[in-house]
Structure 1
Amino acid sequence: LLFCVSGQVAAKRVIKHQATKMNYSIEMNQSKAAFAQKLVKQQIDLKNYNFQQVAKLLKQRFDNTYGIGWQCIVGNSFGCYITHLPDCFLYFSAEPFSVVLFRTNLTTVMI
């Protein structure tokens, strides 16, 4: 079970595909979303079911490919409430993973 709400956009397209058992919500360029899904599929094919390793891989590959600021949550039961940059949000599930991938603005100063 996953509950995720983006603080940036009130309504998202949520599409369920019963045949592939994929649920997703996307506010991102389709090629970026396909890249993320390909990376996760590769990990499933390699039988790497370590959530932390998969999250780290996605974050690093997106930071290296599309610039820094990407954050990733991988698991199978979690909730989240996030704020993200426009056109930089993806949620999808592919057994055994649920993935939230989003980009934040790193110019925020921590006090």
Structure 2
Amino acid sequence: MAAGTARCDTSPAWLSWIGARAAIELMAQLPAAAVERHCLTLAETFREGARSAGAGPAGVGRPSHIVAVQAPDPEAVRDRLRAGRVHAQVLGDRLRVGFHYFNNDDDVTAVLRALAI
């Protein structure tokens, strides 16, 4: 490895930049209000399902596509998330999920299944 600042002299990640540009161009074409409505609807569906399953909200605030609820058995929830290939975060006794435009009702169902008591 080179010494000094020469060690930082590498080629840029050109392929990543090309992909990022295409993704940004695609995202710029999406109607922002529809994207927000979609994400907030999924989050609210999850909140209602979690509440029905006995997992109360971890906090209060304005509606958001990010939701945190109290996980009744965090280790079991983490294991079920992993087994279901669901990407979410369990920190302490909290389950934190974020819903995005690429998510759908099946994703909400998968997280609720992992949360099932």
Common topology (TM > 0.5): no
Give the structure, 1 or 2, with the largest relative contact order (CA under 8 Å, sep 6 or more): 1
Q: TM-score, normalization: structure 2?
A: 0.27
Higher helix share: 2
Between structure 1 and structure 2, the one with the greater Rg is: 2
